Structure 1
Amino acid sequence: MTELDQLTQSLARNLKRLRTERGFTLDALAARAGVSRGMLIQIEQARTNPSVGTVVKVGDALGVSITTLLDYDQEPLVRLVPAEQAVRLWSTAAGSHSTLLAGTESPGPLELWHWRLMPGEGSASDAHPVGTSELVHVTAGVLTLSVDGADHEVVAGASASFESHVPHGYRNDGGDPVEMTMAVSVPAAPH
């Protein structure tokens, strides 16, 4: 079984378990997440490899991190994530990518990411649930952080924090690769 097959199986198992635990019907979760009922059925039956955007929407609707959707059923007190088990969820042919390094659910989803953006590339994100915050630390290059239509330059060595319940995105308008670490904190969903 390939790594992608394992992720697809984990996503199917965890989505069904979490949806059931929260008492959501397929229709209710589809409406809450803004994805089709058919897509949820395909995910739960491990018949599709959904886009990162779809996984984020489903996670937000369930109030859990991508880590929880893609990973383990039982969490130990300390969970070590070897480098080879970090999950690359987005990449381009030019070499841009985002890698989910680790995540937790207490008190709500908290994710730690490593991003690399090649010159001229970027990634846009829909608004997350109200109460979601992101922290960004740039280690190389100059990041153009767009939050609710306003651009902010974040140079190497600098950090930024913002509430991400509005449309936002990350771009590399410069000539050198951008390397950054990002943490995303999502409020716990009401049960």
Structure 2
Amino acid sequence: MTDLDALTQSLARNLKRWRQERGFTLEALAARAGVSRGMIIQIEQARTNPSIGTTVKLADALGVSITALLDYESGPQVQLVQSEQQVRMWSTDAGSWTSLLVGTQAPGPVEMWQWHLEPGDESASDPHPPGTYELLHVTGGELTLIVDGTPHRVPAGASATFEGSVPHTYRNDGPVPVDMTMAVSVPPVR
């Protein structure tokens, strides 16, 4: 079984488990996430690999971290995630990528991400649930962070935080790659 097959199986198993634990029907989860019922069925049957956007929407609707959907739930006091266990969630032909480094569920999902954006690349995100906060630190290049239509320049060495309940985009307008680390905190489902 390839890593992608294992990821697909894990996502299928965990999506169904979290949906059932929350008492959501397929229709209810589809409505909450803005994802079609058919897509959820395909994911739960391990017949498709959803986009990062779809995975984020499902995690947000369930009130869990992406790591919870991918089997990286915390168990022991200290959870060590080796580099080969980190999950590449998004990439482009130009060489940009993002990896989910680690996450936890207490009290709501908290995730840490590593990003690499090649010149000219961008990644747009749909709004997350109200109360979701993103914190980022740029270690190389200069990030153009667009939050609710307003661009903000974040140079290497600088950090930013914002509420992610509005559309936002990470873009590299510069001539060199942008590298950054980002943490996302999502409020628990009530």
Pick the TM interval, shorter chain: over 0.9
Q: Deviations over 1:103-130 (max 9, x none)?
A: 0000100000000000001000000000
Q: Paired residue for 2:101?
A: 101
Q: Paired residue for 2:78?
A: 78
> Aligned partners of 1:154 and 1:183: how far apart in 2?
16
Q: Paired residue for 1:37?
A: 37
Q: Paired residue for 1:128?
A: 128
TM-score normalised according to structure 1 size: 0.98
Q: 1:14, 1:73 within 8 Å by CA — same for their partners in 2?
A: no
Q: 1:55, 1:66 within 8 Å by CA — same for their partners in 2?
A: yes
Q: Paired residue for 1:15?
A: 15
Q: 1:10, 1:72 within 8 Å by CA — same for their partners in 2?
A: no
Unaligned runs of 5+ in 2: none
SS at match of 1:93: coil
SS at match of 2:138: strand
The count of residues paired between Structure 1 and Structure 2 equals 190
Structure 1 residue 76 displacement after superposition: 2.2
> Aligned partners of 1:162 and 1:73: how far apart in 2?
26
Kindly report the root-mean-square deviation, in angstroms, between the aligned alpha carbons of the 2 structures.
0.9
SS at match of 1:162: strand
Unaligned runs of 5+ in 1: none
Identity of aligned residues (%): 71
Q: Paired residue for 1:48?
A: 48
Which 4+ stretches in 1 moved above 6 angstroms?
none
Structure 1 residue 36 displacement after superposition: 0.7
TM-score normalised according to structure 2 size: 0.98
Structure 1 residue 74 displacement after superposition: 6.3
> Aligned partners of 2:39 and 2:95: how far apart in 1?
29
